[in-house]
Every structure is written in C-alpha cells, then in structure tokens.
C-alpha cells in the first residue's frame, strides 16, 4: 500500500525495521481504543471501574489538548476517581508505573489503572518515508495493586530535544512576532537507534546488578517495540536467547508507550507467565526518556 505513494518497498521496511503489518486509526477515536484496553484490564483484574482509585494515562498526542485524555477515558469507563495524563513518550508506561508505585506505597490508592493510548500515525508526514513507515496506533492498559511485585525501577531523562520531536501548531494571535516553524515528526533515526540500544542495555544491566539477578534468571525481556533491529541489538549485547525476548513489532509497528502493556497482555493471555517469573521491562523515547524495571509476576 505504501509503495503506491512513497518511494519505498516491503523489502526495505522488512529488512530495516522488521515491521510487516501495522494498524492505524481511520474512523476510530483514540479514546475508544483506550477504553477497550482499560475494560479488558479491569476484567482481567476482576475489578469494576468504581474500584479504581486513580487513572494515569500515558499519551503523546490525541485530538484534544485539553481536557486530558484520562478525563475522557474516566467518563467512558464510568469511573469517578481523579485522573492525570503524562507524556514521557515511548517510555510512558514505566513512568506511569513508577508514579503508581509511589501512590500505592504512600497508601493513597489501592487500585490504579494505567492506560497507554497512542496515535503516532498522526504525528508523521505520510510523504516522509523515513518516519511514516515506522509507527502504528494502539492502546494497552494494566491495573496495578498493592504488593511487592516491583523489585527495581529506573527512569532517566536527558534533554536531547533535537533528535526526535514533533511541534503542534498553535492558534495565531495578533501579538505573535517570533518565527514559528511547525513541522511533522522530525527524527534522526540513526542517533535514536544508538541512544536506544545504549540506554536500554545500561538500564537493564544496572537493574540486574541492583537485584543480584543474572540475565538468564529473567523469563522475558519485554522491550519497547520500535524496530526489530533495535530489539535484536539489545538482545545480543545482553547475551540472552531469542525465546526470552518476545516481540510483536512485526504486527503493530511502533505504538509508542502502548507497546509494553500490549506485549505483556499477549504473553499473559497466551499463558506464558507463571507466578514467580521475573520480567524485565525497558523502553526509550523522545526526550530522551528511558525507563526500565524488574517485576515478579504475582498472579
């Protein structure tokens, strides 16, 4: 389909990214995907919307600047708790998990719903072959509750704003005199690639050291799904087998912060997770933000 309007090929995309299929928003609204994901997570956790004490939504862009997407989701779910949106780009799930952990530890909440909902297909120029072939749209959600499943977590931000950015056009006013250049998503692909691999390996190694775990003690490495070559590079540097590093980037492309909960859900529904399994999560995104954690599956 892309070959009809872009100078690209299935061969190039497959070889350089590992992506074979993607789902992008057409007639749907992002909040509807978010609500479907949230309801599945609630059902899986055996909870009702009224049991949720706080909703954290990870989102980079959607049709609304305000209200926050989490407010829209709350209404559609029929929840009544406070909500907040965060934007840590593709690492958003880890930043949300860290916030949730703090609230649970402070006894300010018992059940927190994290919803990651993203439509990066609306940030790129579909005339730009370097970016438009990479992203898909989607949502993933998780309910987190009290317990000691989170063994270690690490977040970082380095202000590398020029390697990956998207500016949204604001309304003109009679008073604006500065020059404003609004352009679709700008990405220095190779730099992002290097930062992604280096930071993910660094974060994972630090967490393994901190918890005294060996790489093979981890059942699955749930890595951000940006590009199969990035995933493979991280796997090679860590020296772990392919079976421990699942992926679905071939089917969804890069769905930003929704990638981790979506992959976790696939593993869970496929019956691949057992109580006591150690899981590593690691993600990186625009900012540059990175997040990683080790959890012990407690279900």
* Options 81, 100, 208, 226; binder of ligand ACO; rule CB under 6 A: 226
The reply on whether position 248 binds ligand ACO by CB under 6 A is no
Q: Which stretch binds ligand ACO (CB under 6 A): 27-35, 42-50, 151-159, 188-196?
A: 188-196
Shortest CB 227 distance to ligand ACO, Å:
4
Interface with ligand ACO includes 42 (CB under 6 A)?
no
Tell me the C-alpha distance between 263 and 87, whole Å: 20
Q: Which is nearer to ligand ACO, 79 or 286 (CB)?
A: 286
- How far from each other are the two terminal CA atoms of the chain, in whole angstroms? 42
Catalytic-residue membership of 90:
yes
Distances in Å between the Cα of 232 and the Cα atoms of 24, 135, 201, 224, 276 are: 25, 18, 12, 12, 26
SS (H, E, C) 96-107: HHHHHHHHHHCC
Give catalytic status of residue 57 as yes or no.
no
When binding is defined by CB under 6 A, the residue of 192, 223, 231, 264 that contacts ligand ACO is 192
Q: How far is CA 260 from the centre of its chain?
A: 5
**Is residue 83 within 8 Å of 38, Cβ to Cβ?**
no
Of the candidate spans 69-77, 182-190, 268-276, 290-298, the one that interacts with ligand ACO by CB under 6 A turns out to be 182-190
Between 15 and 28, whose beta carbon lies closer to ligand ACO? 15
Residue 202 binds ligand ACO, judged by CB under 6 A: no
How far is residue 108's CA from residue 69's CA, in Å, rounded to a whole number? 22
Q: Is 254 in the site for ligand ACO (CB under 6 A)?
A: yes
Tell me if 286 contacts ligand ACO by CB under 6 A.
yes
Mind spelling out the 3-state secondary structure of 129-172?
HHHHCCECCEEEEEEEECCCCEEEEEEEECCCCCCEECCCCCCC
Tokens found for residue 112 = 């927190």
195 catalytic residue (yes or no):
no
The catalytic residue positions are 90, 224, 254
Residues near ligand ACO (CB under 6 A): 8, 12-13, 16-17, 89-90, 129-130, 133, 164, 187, 189-190, 192-193, 196, 226-227, 230, 254, 256, 285-286
């Amino acid at each position: 389909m892309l070959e009809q309007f872009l100078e690209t090929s299935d061969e190039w995309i497959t070889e350089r990214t590992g992506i074979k299929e993607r789902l992008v928003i057409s007639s749907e609204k992002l909040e509807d995907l978010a609500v479907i994901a949230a309801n599945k997570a609630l059902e899986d956790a055996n909870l009702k919307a009224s049991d949720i004490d706080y909703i954290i939504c990870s989102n980079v862009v959607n049709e609304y600047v305000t209200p926050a997407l989490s407010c829209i989701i709350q209404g559609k779910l029929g929840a009544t708790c406070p909500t907040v949106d965060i934007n840590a780009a593709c690492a958003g799930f880890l930043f949300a998990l860290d916030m949730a952990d703090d609230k649970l530890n402070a006894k300010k909440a018992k059940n927190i719903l994290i919803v990651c909902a993203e439509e990066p297909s609306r940030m790129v120029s579909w005339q730009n072959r370097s970016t438009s072939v990479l992203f898909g749209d989607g949502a993933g959600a998780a309910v987190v509750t009290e317990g000691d499943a989170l063994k270690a977590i690490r977040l970082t931000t380095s202000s590398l704003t020029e390697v990956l950015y998207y500016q949204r056009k604001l309304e003109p006013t009679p008073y604006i005199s500065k020059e404003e250049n609004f352009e679709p998503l700008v990405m220095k692909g190779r730099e992002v690639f290097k930062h992604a691999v280096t930071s993910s390996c660094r974060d994972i190694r630090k967490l393994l050291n901190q918890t005294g775990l060996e790489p093979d003690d981890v059942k699955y490495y749930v890595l951000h799904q940006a590009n199969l070559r990035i995933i493979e590079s991280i796997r090679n540097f860590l020296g772990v087998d392919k079976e421990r590093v699942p992926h679905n980037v071939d089917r969804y492309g890069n769905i930003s912060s929704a990638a981790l909960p979506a992959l976790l859900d696939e593993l869970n529904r496929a019956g691949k997770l057992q109580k006591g399994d150690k899981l590593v999560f690691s993600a990186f995104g625009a900012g540059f933000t990175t997040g990683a954690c080790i959890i012990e599956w407690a279900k």
